[in-house]
């Protein structure tokens, strides 16, 4: 990709992370294709916008024509009924990977989630090599997404990076964020590195800031060439007492509560 990232397609471009990526990558690409099921307006000369649902496999494949990389952020962003998660997350991801295979896309970045391991104890440091312990159906859908990424890397030779995204916020606002916060600066740092790192077959990395209390090992980020710089601890004095993670003892906090999933069953 050289000094320019070439043509990058961003799915879920209207979302919170997608919006930050859109602004952050504008000056680093030749062409930025923004995909979402809601309408977007072009804001820069390098931008193109496409409006469709990721379940439309042919539209996905067409949008990936000529792409050097795809940043796949689209999908259902939280706990939901399993059929919705299978449709929006698993099927949508399959269509992105299959479209990338057909179009010869050089790098696929998949947005995974820390919720894939939310049932580990808060006292334990978790690394990507450890077995999944999802804290809900949303986490289960992310297990499937990572498995699809591994399949397409192993079977079809795609270069795939799965970023297990932490709590993406401008600043941490709750006690769990002291461990899980991902600052906008570090988020863009991980994504830029994931797009440019050479010789990647398949990598899974926790995208989390350098929080002193973090639950997850960040050493795998070295494979991408990025080390996070921000630490939620500087915001700790303004964070209210813990009512989530301490009560459950689990990394997922309230997300791991039975009721959080039962209301969707």
Task: Give the residue extent of every domain in the chain.
Answer: 7-262
How is residue 229 annotated by DSSP?
Answer: -
What are the pLDDT tens digits along the chain (265 aa)? Answer: 445 899 999 999 999 999 999 999 999 999 999 999 999 999 999 999 999 999 999 999 999 999 999 999 999 999 999 999 999 999 999 999 999 999 999 999 999 999 999 999 999 999 999 999 999 999 999 999 999 999 999 999 999 999 999 999 999 999 999 999 999 999 999 999 999 999 999 999 999 999 999 999 988 788 899 999 999 999 999 898 875 565 679 999 999 999 999 999 9
Instruction: At 157, give phi and psi (nearest 5°).
Output: 80, 15
From the candidates 138, 152, 226, 260, which is the catalytic residue?
A: 138
Q: Is 138 a catalytic residue?
A: yes
Q: What element of type H or E holds 205? A: strand 202-207
The CATH fold assigned to 7-262 is Rossmann fold (3.40.50)
CA distance 14 to 193: 22
């Amino acid at each position: 990709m050289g000094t320019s990232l070439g043509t990058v397609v961003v799915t879920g471009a209207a979302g919170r992370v997608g919006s930050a990526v859109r602004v952050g990558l504008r000056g680093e690409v030749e062409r930025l294709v923004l995909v979402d099921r809601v309408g977007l307006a072009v804001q820069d000369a390098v931008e193109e916008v496409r409006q469709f649902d990721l379940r439309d496999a042919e539209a996905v494949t067409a949008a990936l024509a000529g792409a050097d990389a795809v940043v796949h952020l689209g999908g259902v962003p939280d706990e939901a009924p399993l059929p919705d998660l299978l449709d929006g997350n698993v099927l949508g991801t399959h269509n992105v990977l299959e479209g990338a295979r057909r179009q010869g896309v050089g790098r696929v970045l998949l947005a995974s989630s820390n919720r894939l391991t939310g049932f580990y104890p808060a006292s334990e440091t978790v690394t990507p090599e450890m077995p999944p312990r999802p804290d809900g159906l949303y986490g289960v859908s992310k297990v499937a997404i990572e498995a699809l990424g591994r399949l397409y890397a192993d079977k079809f030779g795609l270069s795939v990076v799965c970023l297990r995204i932490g709590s993406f916020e401008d600043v941490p606002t709750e006690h769990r964020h002291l461990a899980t916060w991902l600052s906008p600066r570090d988020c863009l740092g991980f994504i830029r590195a994931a797009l440019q790192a050479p010789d990647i077959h398949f990598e899974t990395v926790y995208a989390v800031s350098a929080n002193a209390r973090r639950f997850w090992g960040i050493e795998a980020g070295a494979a991408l060439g990025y080390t996070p710089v921000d630490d939620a601890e500087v915001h700790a004095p303004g964070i209210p007492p813990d009512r989530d993670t301490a009560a459950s003892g689990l990394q997922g906090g309230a997300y791991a509560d039975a009721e959080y999933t039962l209301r969707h069953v």
